[in-house]
Amino acid sequence: MSTPDPDTIVRRFIDGDLSDDEVRAALHRIADDPEARALLQFEVQMTQDLAASGAPDPSPGFAAQTVERLREADATNTASSLQDRLRGWWATLTQPIVTVPVRPAYTLAVLALVAAVASVAWPSGSPVPVASAPERTATPTQPATTAPNAPSQRVWTRFVYTDDDADSVAVAGDFSQWQPVALSPRTVNGKTVWTGLVPVSRGEHEYQFVIDGEKWVTDPLAPVTEDDGFGAKNAVLKL
């Protein structure tokens, strides 16, 4: 049987493929072979370097949060494609079948007619319907209305909480039957900002943030709070 070359001996030694007797013989061979010695020395050095330069472990919920972001993106895409289709249908419906040339004199008459109809439909002092619901600016730790859902009167509300040390942050409120809804971490200006969209029905709601699944905290920027009956404060959200 031929004797393995030093390179193979080193590999088998490192991989633990040798019996006790073979290990003894291998150590003699390695000691006698400068190349094998250098390779083994490199192995030790490299293992130390790798151990010293490794990254911290990912947070426990990393995989779940990543998939959650996928789902959020899918939901947004679905909504966008629906909007695109509706826009397409609307464009088709409103596309003029026959183009009528309008003289300036007729334009003034049409404007006067529109003004008259508008004054009957929406008399002075009544709210005038607008194309989209008002949008609150998202600021850290304050919920922001981002998109209305008129038929069910539910509003997609963005909750934001800044915490560099948390492993997970969720929001829980009466709108979620006080079940924590996980927020996703994002880096904004070097800070870890936890954020997520939650559907909330119109009206008044109370909520708290849940840090690391166990610590309940009041939204520090909530303008209004209420006692939660357990010695802490719920933030109050009015939509």
Partner 1 sequence: MPYDAPDGTYARRTQSGSQDAFEVLVERYEGMVFDLTHQYADQSATAEDLAQDIFLTAYRRIEDLRDPDQFASWLYGIALNRCRDYAKNVRRDTYPFSHTDREDGTVTDAHTVTQDDQLAADEQGARLWNALDELSPTYATPFLLKYRNGLTYKAMSKRLDVSVSALKVRVHRARKKLRTLLEPDHEHA
Binding stretches for partner 1 (CB under 8 A): 7, 11, 14-15, 17, 38-39, 42-43, 45-47, 49-50, 52-59, 62-67, 69-71, 73, 164, 185-187, 190-192
Nearer to partner 1, 1 or 52 (CB): 52
Q: In the bound complex, what is the minimum distance in angstroms from residue 137's beta carbon to partner 1?
A: 23
Nearer to partner 1, 67 or 82 (CB): 67
Contacts of 236 (CB under 8 A, 6+ apart): 204, 205, 206, 222, 224, 225, 226
Q: In the bound complex, what is the minimum distance in angstroms from residue 11's beta carbon to partner 1?
A: 5
Report the first-to-last Cα separation within the chain, whole angstroms: 84
Question: What is the spatial distance between Cα 230 and Cα 29, in angstroms, rounded to a whole number?
Answer: 73
Q: In the bound complex, what is the minimum distance in angstroms from residue 77's beta carbon to partner 1?
A: 11
Q: How far is CA 127 from CA 83, 108, 122, 163, 199, in A?
A: 26, 26, 8, 41, 25
Nearer to partner 1, 47 or 80 (CB): 47
Q: In the bound complex, what is the minimum distance in angstroms from residue 98's beta carbon to partner 1?
A: 45
Tokens of residue 44, six digits: 């030790």
Question: What is the spatial distance between Cα 231 and Cα 44, in angstroms, rounded to a whole number?
Answer: 57
Q: In the bound complex, what is the minimum distance in angstroms from residue 222's beta carbon to partner 1?
A: 25
Residue 99 carries which side chain, given as an amino acid letter? T
Nearer to partner 1, 197 or 237 (CB): 197
Nearer to partner 1, 145 or 168 (CB): 168
